[in-house]
Structure 1
């Protein structure tokens, strides 16, 4: 009896947090147009990571997005996404960084440092971008297009950021007001570049928006981290590398999906799209996450084991999972409409 009584507080604690999670996903899902709780199954989603895959399976993923390899809408998979190739990319980059670090530490070769900075800055953002590439069930964006967005889009977003910084006083980023301004400047700069690439490639699906946003955010993160590491040393590289799992790549992916949600299908993005609630809610969320990340919050508890960063990473990924659910729902809806149309015509 005593054991049952002792378990009750833990059960109530679990139920409270589970209810809180359901409320959060339901609220965000309402922003996408569906009034339902989104169930998150992490182990199911990443179950393929721990399975064996041959080279042919990897190569098949890399050749999608061409005229010959883009599937028809009827052939698009609407089953839950299970990316795995990104983990191999992460492992490859991780091993490369380790070898460069050994070259630096064992042989005292300073020539290894630029490589360490580049690979270290690249590892997490690029791997995340590849994860979104795998999850793009429409398979209508090629590796060549993706690398173009990653490199050119990442640099253009930095250029746009510098232009906005020259126009808007931002402060040091430590106070809440300054952090909000910096969040607004950088997320707006990336948003403008994301929108331009979505227009250029005539993209219309939520998964496309997630991928293009992630690519531009990843490019931004890589070049920014490399720059900061050059200024402040390799400790900065190590800190920013693990934190990259929940910063620019994720924030930009959220905005890319929100742009698709707000724009009229098969029409270019306009000013009216950018003030639509479906876009503004996620845009403000991205700015809020960025601002909260930079803010030196006056709460000592948030500094324990980087609690502030982990909370923000969790919120960002919560939004990503909701948008993945919305992307799958969109694919199923479009398939159903296509089948119904063919049936009516037949």
Structure 2
């Protein structure tokens, strides 16, 4: 039953979200906007937490602990990242690297806080709880992005809110939840100690995060190198933004999505490697 619960949650939640969007658009009732924001931001993260729990159930991972990891871990991560980024971030070529280090660091710290009383730690538990903290972070962060997308120069825009939630919902499974699952698996494989492999894993997922966030800028740079015209480089040299051709727009789009796909595949393969080792760990302990 638990293995199919995630599907029922997603179908029911998606239907309710669609109904809320339709009624909000039809009536213009702004009181329904928070419901649209919450349903759209939390549906995919909650669905994947239930899916992960169903695939990796363990006596040490209770529903109460999952709730704490999602809500407490997610909020602690968002608050910590907001504070550190406001103190440390300045426009520079290293900005995306710092964002990756900060956000992956606070999520790992939040995972350590919410699991501090666990007496037995298995790698699979770390994968599930790490993913839960990451999805909690993603849900609260997406709610903020959706809320900001609502406000435009011409007034409230339900269409922009919905577009933001759909895009972030599609990308959420290969973002925060995936990266923190990898870090959580490494942490629990080390029995909660910050060992060399754990720190290297943290740096690795931070790099994936930085590449993900900077993929648009990387795609723009590669597009200009491959298809740039002399007049465009001349305008850039004097600090002006040049117009782009339709072909360059297509090249940029392909490069951007291809880059995100490669980053996602690397992370998924890394996660699979840890999951396979966790199964071997369980087999050895059960003998």
TM-score interval, smaller chain? 0.7 to 0.9
Q: 2:56 aligns with which of 136, 139, 145?
A: 136
Secondary structure in 2 matching 1:274: coil
Following the alignment from structure 2 to structure 1, what is the Cα–Cα distance between the partners of residues 168 and 182? 20
Q: Deviations over 1:248-280 (max 9, x none)?
A: 1111111111101223xxxxx4xxx32422x13
Secondary structure in 1 matching 2:58: coil
Q: Deviations over 1:65-101 (max 9, x none)?
A: xxxxxxxxxxxxxxxxxx4432222222211211111
Q: Residue in 2 aligned with 1:299?
A: 222
Gaps of 5+ in 1: 1-56, 62-82, 264-268, 337-346
Q: Residue in 2 aligned with 1:44?
A: none
Cα distance, 1:166 vs structure 2: 4.1
**TM-score, with length taken from structure 1:** 0.66
Cα distance, 1:143 vs structure 2: 1.5
Q: Residue in 2 aligned with 1:280?
A: 199
Structure 1 contact 101–116 (Cα < 8 Å) conserved: yes
Q: 2:71 aligns with which of 151, 162, 185?
A: 151
After TM superposition, the structure 1 stretch with the greater mean CA deviation from structure 2, 301-310 or 325-334, is: 301-310
Structure 1 contact 180–287 (Cα < 8 Å) conserved: yes
Q: Residue in 2 aligned with 1:250?
A: 178
Q: Deviations over 1:22-69 (max 9, x none)?
A: xxxxxxxxxxxxxxxxxxxxxxxxxxxxxxxxxxx2xxx4xxxxxxxx
Q: Residue in 1 aligned with 2:134?
A: 217
Specify which structure has the higher proportion of helix.
Answer: 2
Following the alignment from structure 2 to structure 1, what is the Cα–Cα distance between the partners of residues 84 and 59? 34
Q: Residue in 1 aligned with 2:30?
A: 110
Secondary structure in 2 matching 1:188: helix
Following the alignment from structure 1 to structure 2, what is the Cα–Cα distance between the partners of residues 204 and 217? 18
Q: 2:167 aligns with which of 239, 242, 247?
A: 239
Q: Deviations over 1:276-319 (max 9, x none)?
A: 22x13321221011101110212334632722222222222222
Do residues 315 (structure 1) and 266 (structure 2) align?
A: yes
Following the alignment from structure 1 to structure 2, what is the Cα–Cα distance between the partners of residues 255 and 243? 19
Give 1:43-122 correspondences, 5 Å limit. Answer: 57=1, 61=2, 83-122=3-42
Secondary structure in 2 matching 1:181: helix
Q: CA RMSD in A?
A: 1.9
